[in-house]
Structure 1
Amino acid sequence: MVGDFNHFPDDPEFADIIQKAEQAIENGVFPERISQGSSGSYFVKDPKGKIIGVFKPKSEEPYGHLNPKWTKYFHKLCCPCCFGRGCLLPNQGYLSEAAASLVDTKLGLGVVPKTKVVYLASETFHYSAIDRAKSRGKKYALEKVPKVGRRFHRVGLPPKVGSFQLFVEGYREADYWLRRFEAEPLPENIRKQLQSQFERLVVLDYVIRNTDRGNDNWLIKYEKPGEGAEDDEHKNCPDCCIKIAAIDNGLAFPFKHPDEWRAYPFHWAWLPQAKVAFSQETRDLVLSRLSDMNFVQDLCEDLYEMFKTDKGFDKAMFERQMSVMRGQVLNLTQALKDGKSPIQLVQMPRVVVERSRSGGQGRVVTLGNAFTQTFHCKRPFFSSW
Structure 2
Amino acid sequence: MLSPAAYHDDQDYISPFTIYNPNVIPDDPSFSDLVRQTEIAIDCGILPERIYQGSSGSYFVKSSVNKTIAVFKPKDEEPYGRLNPKWTKWLHKLCCPCCFGRSCLVPNQGYLSEAGASLVDTKLELNIVPKTKVVRLVSETFNYVRLDREKARAKRAVIERFPSLGRRFNRIGLPPKTGSFQLFVEGYKDADYWIRRFESEPLADSIQKQFQFEFERLVVLDYIIRNTDRGNDNWLIRYDKPEVSKDTPEEEWAFVKPPAIRVAAIDNGLAFPFKHPDSWRAYPYHWAWLSFAKVPFSEDIKNLVLPKTSDMNFVQDLCDDMYLLFKQDKGFDKNVFEKQMGVLRGQILNLNQALKDGRSPVQLVQMPSVIIERSTDQSNGSLRSVIKQRFQQESPIFSWC
Structures share fold, TM-score greater than 0.5: yes
1:238 offset after TM fit, Å? 4.3
- The aligned counterpart of 1:316 is 335
Query: Which residues of 2 match residues 327-366 of structure 1 at below 5 A?
Result: 327-358=346-377, 359-366=384-391
- Which of the residues 140, 147, 150 maps onto 1:130? 147
- The aligned counterpart of 1:194 is 211
CA distance in 2, matches of 1:345, 1:225: 35
CA distance in 2, matches of 1:205, 1:116: 18
How many equivalent pairs are there? Answer: 362
Q: 1:225·1:241 contact (CA, 8 Å) conserved in 2?
A: no
The 3-state SS of whatever aligns with 1:180 is helix
CA distance in 2, matches of 1:317, 1:218: 28
**Which has the higher mean CA deviation after the structures are superposed, 137-146 or 77-86?**
77-86
- Which of the residues 316, 334, 346 maps onto 1:297? 316
Can you give the 5+ residue segments of structure 1 that lack an aligned partner in the other structure?
228-234, 370-385
Q: Cα gap change, 1:237/1:132 in structure 2, threshold over 3 Å: closer, same or farther?
A: farther
The 3-state SS of whatever aligns with 2:159 is helix
CA distance in 2, matches of 1:240, 1:151: 60
Q: 2:44·2:64 contact (CA, 8 Å) conserved in 1?
A: yes
1:367 offset after TM fit, Å? 2.0
CA distance in 2, matches of 1:43, 1:155: 24
Query: Which residues of 2 match residues 13-92 of structure 1 at below 5 A?
Result: 13-92=30-109
- The aligned counterpart of 1:257 is 276
CA distance in 2, matches of 1:209, 1:320: 13
Can you give the 5+ residue segments of structure 2 that lack an aligned partner in the other structure?
6-15, 245-253, 378-383, 395-401
The 3-state SS of whatever aligns with 1:53 is strand
CA distance in 1, matches of 2:27, 2:255: 27
- Per-residue CA distance 1:191-222 (angstroms, 9 max, x = gap): 00100000000000000000000000000000
- Which of the residues 103, 114, 119 maps onto 1:97? 114
AA of the residue aligned to 1:340: R
1:92 offset after TM fit, Å? 0.1
CA distance in 1, matches of 2:91, 2:152: 29
1:236 offset after TM fit, Å? 11
AA of the residue aligned to 1:368: Q
Identity of aligned residues (%): 66
- The aligned counterpart of 1:372 is none
AA of the residue aligned to 1:294: N
Query: Which residues of 2 match residues 81-230 of structure 1 at below 5 A?
Result: 81-225=98-242
**Which has the higher mean CA deviation after the structures are superposed, 269-278 or 81-90?**
81-90
Query: Which residues of 2 match residues 259-278 of structure 1 at below 5 A?
Result: 259=278, 261-278=280-297
AA of the residue aligned to 2:287: W
CA distance in 2, matches of 1:283, 1:360: 29
In the alignment, does 2:270 pair up with 1:245?
no
CA distance in 1, matches of 2:64, 2:306: 43
Give the aligned CA root-mean-square deviation in angstroms. Answer: 1.6
Q: 1:34·1:42 contact (CA, 8 Å) conserved in 2?
A: yes
Query: Which residues of 2 match residues 269-288 of structure 1 at below 5 A?
Result: 269-288=288-307
**Which has the higher mean CA deviation after the structures are superposed, 151-160 or 306-315?**
151-160
CA distance in 2, matches of 1:188, 1:119: 45
CA distance in 1, matches of 2:375, 2:255: 50
The 3-state SS of whatever aligns with 1:211 is coil
The 3-state SS of whatever aligns with 1:112 is coil
- Between structure 1 and structure 2, the one with the greater Rg is 2
CA distance in 1, matches of 2:345, 2:257: 38
1:79 offset after TM fit, Å? 1.5
Q: 2:81·2:108 contact (CA, 8 Å) conserved in 1?
A: yes
Q: 2:75·2:179 contact (CA, 8 Å) conserved in 1?
A: yes
Q: Cα gap change, 1:283/1:311 in structure 2, threshold over 3 Å: closer, same or farther?
A: same
The 3-state SS of whatever aligns with 1:344 is helix
CA distance in 1, matches of 2:49, 2:29: 25
AA of the residue aligned to 1:339: G
In the alignment, does 2:385 pair up with 1:368?
no
- Per-residue CA distance 1:269-300 (angstroms, 9 max, x = gap): 00000000000000000101101111100000
In the alignment, does 2:345 pair up with 1:326?
yes
Q: Cα gap change, 1:13/1:38 in structure 2, threshold over 3 Å: closer, same or farther?
A: same
AA of the residue aligned to 1:295: F
The 3-state SS of whatever aligns with 1:357 is strand
CA distance in 2, matches of 1:285, 1:237: 30
CA distance in 1, matches of 2:159, 2:92: 42
Q: 2:241·2:258 contact (CA, 8 Å) conserved in 1?
A: no
CA distance in 2, matches of 1:284, 1:361: 30
Q: Cα gap change, 1:246/1:122 in structure 2, threshold over 3 Å: closer, same or farther?
A: same
CA distance in 2, matches of 1:337, 1:164: 36
CA distance in 2, matches of 1:81, 1:114: 34
Q: 1:120·1:161 contact (CA, 8 Å) conserved in 2?
A: yes
1:16 offset after TM fit, Å? 0.9
Q: Normalization by structure 1: what TM-score? A: 0.91
1:237 offset after TM fit, Å? 11
CA distance in 1, matches of 2:283, 2:212: 23
